Amino acid sequence: MKRTINLGLIGFGTVGEGVVKLLKKNASVIERKSGTRVRIARICDKNPRRAGALNKYGLSRDVFTTKINEVINDDNIDIVIELIGGCEPARKYMLEAIRKGRHIVTANKALLAEHWSEIFSEADKHKVLVYIEASVCSGIPIIQSLNEGLSANKIKSILGILNGTTNYILTKMSKERMDFASALMEAKKYGFAETDASLDVNGMDAVNKLVILGSVTFGAHIKLSDVYCEGIENIMQEDIEYAYNEFGYVLKLLAILKNNGKAIDVRVHPALVPGGHLLSSVDNEYNAVYIEGDAVGEMMFFGKGAGEMPAASAVVSDIIYLSKNINNDIAGRAPYIICNSEKKLKVMNIKDIRAKYYIRISSVDRPGVLSRVSGVLGEHNVSIASVYQVAQGKPRGDVPIIMVTHIAREGDIKKALSKIDRLSMVGKKSILIRIEEPNE
């Protein structure tokens, strides 16, 4: 029998409006796929002016409220869709809704990354489901793929371009020589950036998303503090250009998760990828996730990771899965996301990772510099693969010496660079950028 599934939407901003738009536009597809009728029963937003958009979608003004309890306490509501973002009060509202037996759809990456175990434990206890597709890479169905489609695999690695804003900035810097500030301003103008854009730039948005992907993959919470993070604030145009022009590498902000069977390596930082690698061609605000599973091999997901309709696509697909399960009286009999709060994951220290490195040293141009620098690197077990030195421009000015190393241990190369930076012939602090060569 076909019943009507009642939705309670919290947050009627860009994504909320996109969800309402898509539910109306694709109503017949949604009914066919879910086997039910899906209806917006309530929309809650603290800004009463947002009710003005309702008549565009044929919804009555009575659907709208500014009082959260009129959604959470309404026993007719089957699914609460949380789209307000941020940890509080979203966490409080979500836990209350779970305790009332409502199923949840959320796009809230910050809340999930921080309170993963609490939310999923509470959902298990109350036999409700929490669906989270829109929290990572918006329209790309990466949660469902890791949770279900690839669940037969041991995941060896995930390399993700998970933040559209920083990818937009780096693309504009690389391809148009646009300066950082102007590129960021454009990303804000197009609506890719977070309300607080420092979360994009400092890598935290990508960290939140990586925590979610990793926690789905391992069935246990990867804590935020387990993830090493560097943003793109200190990236300089000249390194983007030397890396590409002299060595063929493209700079990306990568979210990296690797599993060697003993410990996991989880980090977000700028990284150079070979110009021929698929990830190097992911430009502008696009996101991509490159996965290697032991059975399936390598694959890449690509698409829009931000924006009204890509996010709505993910939220509405969650609504469809949930509605189908509710209609068949099976929603909550088994959890969707497995979260084992007892499971402890061993996380690798950044000092112990092994990679190739791009280093730029600023030095006076005089005999013996290269041998001194390479001597220090050698003493620390760092072997040089190639070197490029720019000819001296002005008398006695520093010149950049750029090196790409063979695979080395991060702790070793950091020690070597700190020694190099103390040499009298070396000027400014050296630059280090990790190189990520998939399959190495």
Concatenating the DSSP letter of every residue in 341-360 gives: TT----B--GGG-EEEEEEE
**One of 78, 200, 292, 318 touching ligand HSE (CB under 6 A):** 200
Of 138 and 363, nearer to ligand HSE (C-beta) is 138
Of 192 and 290, nearer to ligand HSE (C-beta) is 192
| Nearest distance from C-beta of residue 307 to ligand HSE, angstroms | 8
Q: For ligand HSE, which stretch binds (CB under 6 A), given 163-171, 226-234, 343-351, 352-360? A: 163-171
Q: Within positions 336 to 375, which residues make up the interface with ligand HSE, using CB under 6 A?
A: none
Please give the Cα distance from 240 to 253 (Å, whole number).
12
Q: Does 194 bind ligand HSE (CB under 6 A)?
A: yes
Please give the Cα distance from 401 to 380 (Å, whole number).
19
* Residue 67 annotated among the catalytic residues of the structure: no
Q: Within positions 385 to 414, which residues make up the interface with ligand HSE, using CB under 6 A?
A: none
Q: For ligand HSE, which stretch binds (CB under 6 A), given 17-25, 64-72, 186-194, 339-347? A: 186-194
- Beta bridge partners of residue 250, listed in sequence order: 273
Largest Cα separation within the chain, whole Å, is: 85
Q: Does 202 bind ligand HSE (CB under 6 A)?
A: no
Helix (H) or strand (E) holding 267: strand 264-274
Helix (H) or strand (E) holding 27: helix 27-34
User: What's 198-234 look like in SS3?
Assistant: HHHHCCHHHHHHHHHHHHHHHCCCCCHHHCEECCCCC
Q: For ligand HSE, which stretch binds (CB under 6 A), given 41-49, 162-170, 348-356, 428-436? A: 162-170
**CB 72, CB 51: distance < 8 Å:** no
Please give the Cα distance from 283 to 271 (Å, whole number).
15
Q: From the centroid of its chain, how far is CA 234?
A: 20
**One of 11, 164, 214, 400 touching ligand HSE (CB under 6 A):** 164
Q: Does 163 bind ligand HSE (CB under 6 A)?
A: yes
Instruction: Write down the catalytic residue from 109, 172, 209, 252.
Output: 209
Of 279, 235, 239, 233, nearest to 256 by C-alpha is: 279
**One of 78, 124, 205, 410 touching ligand HSE (CB under 6 A):** 205
Q: Within positions 129 to 148, which residues make up the interface with ligand HSE, using CB under 6 A?
A: 138
Of 193 and 271, nearer to ligand HSE (C-beta) is 193
Please give the Cα distance from 402 to 379 (Å, whole number).
19
Q: Does 165 bind ligand HSE (CB under 6 A)?
A: yes
Please give the Cα distance from 215 to 217 (Å, whole number).
5
What residues have CB less than 8 Å from 439, skipping those under 6 apart? Answer: 292, 298
| Nearest distance from C-beta of residue 7 to ligand HSE, angstroms | 22
**One of 84, 213, 306, 314 touching ligand HSE (CB under 6 A):** 306
Please give the Cα distance from 256 to 266 (Å, whole number).
6
Of 315 and 426, nearer to ligand HSE (C-beta) is 315
Of 193 and 331, nearer to ligand HSE (C-beta) is 193
Q: Does 11 bind ligand HSE (CB under 6 A)?
A: no
Q: Helix 180-189 and helix 164-176: axis angle, to 10°? A: 130
| Nearest distance from C-beta of residue 264 to ligand HSE, angstroms | 23
State the number of binding residues for ligand HSE (CB under 6 A). Answer: 11
Q: For ligand HSE, which stretch binds (CB under 6 A), given 192-200, 264-272, 276-284, 394-402? A: 192-200
Q: Does 308 bind ligand HSE (CB under 6 A)?
A: no
Of 17 and 194, nearer to ligand HSE (C-beta) is 194
What residues have CB less than 8 Å from 198, skipping those under 6 apart? Answer: none
Per 3-state DSSP, the chain is made up of helix, strand and coil in percentages (nearest 5) of 40, 25, 35
| Nearest distance from C-beta of residue 197 to ligand HSE, angstroms | 8
Of 25 and 188, nearer to ligand HSE (C-beta) is 188
Strands 354-363 and 408-409: antiparallel
| Nearest distance from C-beta of residue 267 to ligand HSE, angstroms | 18
Q: Does 114 bind ligand HSE (CB under 6 A)?
A: no
Reduced to 3 states (helix: H, G, I; strand: E, B; else coil), residue 287 is strand
**One of 141, 305, 332, 400 touching ligand HSE (CB under 6 A):** 305
Please give the Cα distance from 378 to 355 (Å, whole number).
16
| Nearest distance from C-beta of residue 169 to ligand HSE, angstroms | 10
Give me the residues that bind ligand HSE (CB under 6 A), please: 138, 163-165, 192-194, 200, 205, 305-306
Residues acting as catalytic residues: 209
